[in-house]
Amino acid sequence: MAQTKEKPKRYQFKAEIKQLLDILVHSLYTNREIFVRELVSNAADALDKARFEEIRGSKIADPDLPFEIHIDLDEENKKFTITDTGIGMSREELVANIGTIAHSGSADFIKKIAGNEQQGPELIGQFGVGFYSVFMAGSEVLITTQSHDPKEDAFQWRSDGTGSYTIKNADKAPRGTKIEVTLREDAHEFSEKARIENVIKRYSNFVPFPIKINGEQVNTISAIWREPKSSVKKDQYIEFYKFITNGSEEPLSHMHISSDAPIQFSSIIYIPATNPEMIGFPMQEEGMNLFVKRILVQPNCKDLLPNYLRFLRGVVDSEDIPLNISRETLQENLLISKIRNVLTKKVLGHLKDMAEKEPDKYAEFWKQFGRNLKEGYTDFMNRDEIIKLFRFNSSSHENEDQLTSLEEYVKRMAENQNSIYYLSGSSREVIQQNPHLEMFRKKGLEVLYLYEPIDEFFMTNTQEFDGKKFASADQVEPESLDEIKAESEEDAKNNRPKDDRKLADLCARIKNILGDRITEVKPSARLTDSPAVLVNPDGSMSAQMQKIMQTISKDSNVPPKVMEINGKHPLIKNMLKLYTNNPKDKRLTKTVENLYHSVVLLDGYLPDPHKIVAGLQELLLDSSKLYVKSQ
Ligand code: ADP
């Protein structure tokens, strides 16, 4: 039904698109050629979808029209036109797809790009804002589109990329989408054949449909994943990676896998060099594309690898899977789960090899994707292999960058040591100040430093490695360390609190002052340098785990714990003197309150800053009086 006389309807771009267009047109003129890549990639997607519809048995418009991309260049009139015979769009689809940014990350994208223009072209492709890049080179854009659905009309979309666009009905057109770009004064180069051919060769060589410039095909269509490894060059792997990621970054590593049993498939899998999740982007979409007999049946297929490996990018192609498989049945498909099992094992094997043969590269991998891999502790089938890939910073290292595997830790363990010790904290500095570390330091026992909450979950869930139990350093009893490395007679004598009975009395007095805030006060055998520490009562969880659970249940109270005091510390010795002189001495009460505040702070709580500061300032006043007196 032709309705070309109809008055075009005007729509405003959404605010974020206006902002994006502004950035694209005014800031990103380096590398403008990527708009060609973006339009070709959209055309290829549209063709993939149309072909998929046809395979599924849907009735599509113009079924005899070959799946192709045509680029027509008009040097005289400075025009660039790209036409595909793909899926096309209805009016609603035009408004929804071209008028709004569908992806939730778009606001983030705009923020990031605004301060970081060089990375712009890289980010555009990743964020699905590709179409708008056309306005970097075009002063006016006209889209004519005819849906694959034979019942739909054709539509025309027009905009100069400033604030608004119009849509109107058009005469019936062949299936697909035609985008006509009137080039800006300073972008006339994009109407030259040699220039465009060069761009296509650089970015779009792997597009699996013929790309014809002014009628002449310029790309070679090949599925490199189906070729034998020996015939694919390193550069081709890199090119292909850039193609599937729509970016210019090179991968960290790749694997080329072909399998005949238990199921036939070929695959190329890449490990990217950087992880967007690490710099605050939301959880990434799965990056594997499923092909059946060289035809893309599902991009970003989430069933080909477990979720913790979502950062991998690549393709899987199998002859054995039915072409018309749907998203819903994929998940239950036995063949797919077999492929997933094989791929997961291959990937873990590849990482193991990398760790052994290229430790520096593996360290780089761990820095980027370690956090993702840690989620894999829930993969029971592969858990043993995954745990061996974990790396930790520990007390045997000199700085935060050094890492150890659990296997290496076990090799360094003391002869009678049966546990793997760890301690959690927000940084190396914080952990090293933790009084619980003192007795390990004294005995020269290694403690792993954990910096992320997921580490605690992993330790508590997994419980052991190689028959050695994981133990949080703040839950270990000093006696159990004596069994590993017995103290010398001398040490034992020095460590025993000098005046046991009096110290026990002091403990009782402290408990009396602090009341229900603590469960018990006792002399400590674990401390060397600190006056006191809080210890979780027997059998309960580590301090860090307790904090995680409290965060989850929004509970900010300090849980009652055991307070241990160090009889050899000058502060405790002085308190003992005060106590012996007068058990009710007010100054003793004050000191106990302040000591309690300090151990609570060290334990990672900040219950009542006003009280803490008031106590501290009172002490300052006392000591200043003494200073003045001694002047
Ligand atoms: P992305 O391709 O990453 O989704 P774009 O801004 O490039 O982001 O395109 C937005 C949407 O517009 C696409 O997802 C698609 O639905 C639609 N689109 C773009 N170009 C075409 C085309 N040639 N044929 C059909 N639909 C298209």
> 13, 39, 41, 42: which to mutate for ligand 1, most atoms within 8 A of CB?
42
Closest by CA to 108, choosing from 343, 319, 277, 355, is 277
Q: What is the mean pLDDT of residues 249-271?
A: 94
3-state secondary structure of 6: coil
Helix H or strand E segment including 12: strand 9-12
Nearest CA to ligand 1 atom 3: 128
CB distance 383 to 462 below 8 Å:
yes
Residue 413: other Cβ atoms inside 10 A: 17
What whole-number distance in Å separates Cα of residue 392 and Cα of residue 6?
68
Distance separating alpha carbons of residues 70 and 61, to the nearest angstrom: 18
Q: Per-residue b/e over 175-193, b at no fewer than 16 CB within 10 Å?
A: bbbbbbbbbbeebeebbee
Q: What is the mean pLDDT of the chain?
A: 89
DSSP, res 392: B
Distance 97 CA to ligand 1 centre (A): 6
What is the distance between the alpha carbons of residues 390 and 470, in angstroms, rounded to a whole number? 14
List, chain by chain if needed, residues with CB within 6 Å of any ligand 1 atom: 38, 42-43, 46, 84, 86-89, 97-98, 128-131, 177
Is pTM, for the whole model, over 0.85? Answer: no
- Residue closest via CA to ligand 1's atom 16 equals 97
Per residue in 511-543, pLDDT (tens digit) is: 999 999 999 999 998 899 999 999 988 667 888
Distance 39 CA to ligand 1 centre (A): 8
Q: What percent of the chain is modeled with pLDDT above 70?
A: 91
Q: Which residue among 82, 84, 131 has the greatest number of ligand 1 atoms within 8 angstroms of its CB, and so is best to mutate? A: 131
For residue 125, which atom of ligand 1 is closest to its CA? 3
Mean pLDDT on 338-354: 97
Q: How confident is the model at residue 120 (pLDDT cuts 50, 70, 90)?
A: low
- Flag whether pLDDT at 105 surpasses 50: no
Work out the pLDDT band at 104, boundaries 50, 70, 90: very low
Burial class (CB in 10 A: 0-12, 13-18, 19+), 524: buried
Return the best residue to mutate from 21, 45, 177 for the ligand 1 pocket (most ligand atoms within 8 A of CB): 45
Secondary element (H or E) of residue 518: strand 518-523
Residue 382 to residue 343: CA distance in whole angstroms:
12
Average of pLDDT values for 192-203? 90
Q: What is the pLDDT of residues 55-65, one digit of tens each?
A: 888 899 999 99
Query: Nearest residue CA, atom 23 of ligand 1?
Result: 43
Cα 133 to Cα 23, 35, 191, 581, distances in angstroms: 10, 5, 16, 82
pLDDT at 329: 74
Give the residue whose CA is nearest to atom 21 of ligand 1: 42
pLDDT at 608 > cutoff 90 = no
375 Cβ contact partners less than 8 Å away, ≥ 6 residues apart: 307, 308, 454
Instruction: Using the mean position of ligand 1's atoms as its centre, give its distance from the Cα of residue 120 in Å.
Output: 19
Residue that wins the pLDDT comparison between 21 and 188: 188
Contact between residue 46 and residue 209 where contact means Cβ atoms under 8 Å apart: no
Ligand 1 centroid–CA 35 distance in Å is 13
Angle at alpha carbon of residue 300, lines to 294 and 305, rounded to 5°: 95
Of all protein residues, the one whose alpha carbon is nearest to atom 17 of ligand 1 is 97
pLDDT in tens, 133-156: 899 899 999 999 999 999 999 999
Best mutation site among 97, 124, 149 for ligand 1 pocket (most ligand atoms within 8 Å of CB):
97
β-bridge partners, 523: 565
Q: How far apart are CA 417 and CA 550, in angstroms?
A: 32
Relative to beta strand 561-565, strand 518-523 is parallel
Do residues 527 and 566 touch, judged by C-beta distance below 8 A?
yes
